[in-house]
């Protein structure tokens, strides 16, 4: 076992209290709820690991109103597809990592890695990020909002992932599942991205075709 996994993290000088430790799990897309059930099974069957859980695994959702065949329907949609937020005391007060719990969570069916990366120590979210997450969840939970209408050839901005902040043109739309294919051009090459509606933002009409504010272009 590598000593790097046992020593105190050099990134965080202080560790949040158990109740304030939040971690981001990268999980199989469209398998978030099944993965939550698998995690709950681990916490239920393994008391030592279960005792570290501070609150239920969280998959933030919002309610979206759509019209299909002239009828309104309300659907639940995940705010952050492919991620689960875990309120879990994975680090001890001295900053050391509970390796046993870490490995057992990674072994749960559906879990890919902690957001910090498979080869890096899992780090708790900064308090500021947790606060922003909770505010966003609270804001999105207030009522039902209309579904965003996105069409082919619309210009959008990517909100997360390797191309975060880049603009692209919508090439395909799967409105039923809220999925898009977006072509993002970088270094003269177009990169097709398969994204969820929640992972993009429509560029206002008066800004389309113009460089982003603050761009060197």
Q: What is the pLDDT of residue 37?
A: 97
- Give the chain's domains with CATH numbers: 3-140 (3.30.70.940), 155-207 (2.30.30.30)
* pTM over the 0.85 mark: no
Q: What is the pLDDT of residue 108?
A: 98
Q: What is the pLDDT of residue 159?
A: 87
Q: What is the pLDDT of residue 31?
A: 94
The total number of residues written for the chain in this structure: 217
* DSSP string for residues in the chain: --GGGTSPPSS-SS---GGG-EEEEEE-TT-HHHHHHHHHHHHHH-HHHHTTB-S--B--EEEEEEEETTEEEEEEEESSTTEEEEEB--B-TTS-B-HHHHHHHHTSTTEEEETT-TTS---PPPHHHHHHHHHHHHHHTSS-EEPPP--TT-EEEE-SSTTTT-EEEEEEEETTTTEEEEEEEETTEEEEEEEEGGGEEEPPGGGTTSPPTT---
Sheet with strand 61-68: strands edge to edge: 71-78, 61-68, 145-146
Q: What is the pLDDT of residue 202?
A: 85
Could you tell me the mean pLDDT of each successive run of 10 residues in the chain, 217 residues long? 36 77 94 96 98 96 67 78 96 92 97 77 92 89 68 90 89 82 89 86 73 48
What is the distance between the alpha carbons of residues 82 and 102, in angstroms, rounded to a whole number? 19
CB 148 within 8 A of CB 157: no
Q: Are strands 179-186 and 22-27 parallel, antiparallel or unpaired?
A: unpaired
Q: What is the pLDDT of residue 155?
A: 93
What is the distance between the alpha carbons of residues 107 and 116, in angstroms, rounded to a whole number? 16
What is the C-alpha end-to-end distance of the chain, expressed in Å? 49
């Amino acid at each position: 076992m590598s000593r790097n996994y046992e020593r105190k993290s050099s990134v965080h000088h202080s560790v949040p209290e158990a109740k304030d430790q939040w971690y981001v799990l990268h999980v199989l897309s469209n398998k978030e709820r099944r993965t939550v059930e698998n995690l709950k099974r681990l916490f239920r069957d393994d008391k030592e690991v279960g005792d570290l859980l501070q609150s239920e695994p969280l998959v933030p959702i919002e309610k979206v109103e759509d019209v299909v065949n002239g009828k309104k329907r309300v659907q639940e949609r995940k705010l952050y597809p492919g991620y689960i937020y875990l309120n879990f005391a994975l680090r001890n007060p001295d900053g050391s990592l509970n390796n046993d719990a870490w490995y057992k969570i990674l072994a749960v069916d559906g879990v890919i890695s902690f957001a910090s990366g498979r080869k890096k120590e899992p780090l708790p979210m900064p308090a500021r990020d947790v606060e922003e997450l909770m505010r966003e969840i609270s804001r999105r939970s207030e009522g039902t909002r209309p579904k965003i209408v996105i069409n082919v050839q619309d210009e959008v901005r990517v909100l997360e992932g390797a191309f975060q902040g880049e603009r692209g043109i919508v090439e395909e739309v799967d409105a039923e599942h809220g999925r898009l294919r977006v072509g993002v051009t970088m270094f003269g090459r177009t990169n097709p991205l398969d994204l969820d509606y929640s992972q993009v933002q429509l560029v206002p009409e008066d800004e389309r075709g113009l460089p982003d504010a603050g761009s060197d272009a």
